[in-house]
Structure 1
Amino acid sequence: MFTPRTPRVVAARRLHRRRDRDAAGRFLAEGPQAVREALTGPAGVLELFGTPVALDRYAELAAAATAAGVPVSPVTDEALAALAETVAPQGLVAVCAQLDVPLAAALAGPPRLVAVLAGIRDPGNAGTVLRTADAAGARAVVFAGETVDPYNGKCVRSSAGSLFHVDLVRAPDPAGVVAAARAAGLRVLAATGHGDTDLDELADAGGLAAPTAWLFGSEAHGLPAELAAAADARVRVPLHGRAESLNLAAAAAVCLYASARALR
């Protein structure tokens, strides 16, 4: 049984660091839900670590991994704790290949709905928006510019497996993403609390019926002014009560589902 000092455990543990994830082209997916989705995802699982109790409890996942030719490695509780990032881990951690899709491939078609995350630093927020985009039917989620690493452990957990369902793009230049989306035939909408276009009015006027790329910025600072200006419209979610604003994840959900409804 593997311990915290077993070389394969040591190598996997290094994937907690972004530089090591990018150097290896790998990341960790923790918990049975993430492992289940990873096993059916496009890149699959490279190795599955589990405590004996977890491998027994989730025997169907261990069997699926074995059937797919994935090494299943029993580990001690101490080794699992070293691999996991949660306070109360559920006993399974998978090593997965990174899933990056080129921007041009993600925009080919074009897709009907795309979410672009620009400058979002909080991994929990980014993972939640990714999960919401998947639920709303977006085909691609773009992490643009100085945005958190989508393979950050908290982002992976917050995505609840949706990381494995969409085309995941990492693009260094947000302005280039806007230009590429528009060239692919998508209307580019910037979600901002100070937008000059009301989301409800836009929906009522049929402005969400075309293929759309939504731009979302950080909760603390919003979208950079030059990026918002590059969009076809700057859209605000109407506030009918006394709340000052919506948080990023809630605003993204409202925008993406408004588009999903219009597109259907």
Structure 2
Amino acid sequence: MSAYLLVTHGSRDSRPGLVMQELVTKLQSRGVPCVDVANLELASQPLSEQIQDFAEYVWSLGYKRVVIAPLFLLAGVHVMEDIPMQVEIAQAGLAGKVEIEVKTYLGAYSGVEDFLRRICQRFVDDNLYGQNISQQLLILLAHGSRRVDGNTAVEALATNLNGLTAYWSVTPNLESRLAKLNQEDTSVTKVVVVPYFLFAGKITDAIAASIDALKLQFPTITIYQAQPLGLNEGFADLIWDWLVDERK
């Protein structure tokens, strides 16, 4: 039997925590009896101690294996360096009592593309139904990583969705994408921005504010903003499928 520890970034904003509480409840109802949440940052304990405490607890219940499931969308420093380091510290403290497995981060799971495709189609159906599809463009707006190849997966994802990428923390940003579009492709008059973030929070609020300003800056382009992934119908199903997928 496996117990699951969902690892998120952590936030001072209460909204991600509420989504995670709801997610845990739904996973438990789906047949994952032992599942909890840990935060990489902004928690009262380091992640290593959260992992060790959870492992000790589930060991007392008879579990011999803990799956660490990183709810991250990009292969940045957190996924490639910070989480593995914290897991290694926790493993040393457990001294082999419980097997620890780190699942491949959520953004690498193939089901994310299908989930995004459904989100985009539903959004277009609700907001752009019957309008000329050749005038529409999808922009997947991710946080972005400065790590070499850290944005490769999201670039491929946007290509598969017939869209473009833009980034919050690295280039190209949304403004530069729209400026280039405004200069080079006047046929596109409607842009759907899909925030490639799991939860609403400080950054998505800032994205919404920037989009309001960009609407004034580019009056010939109608800009729509979809919701972060975790606020869409079917998010719990996506996480369930990811957790039970036998591939790491």
Pairwise same-fold verdict (TM > 0.5): no
TM-score relative to the length of structure 1: 0.28
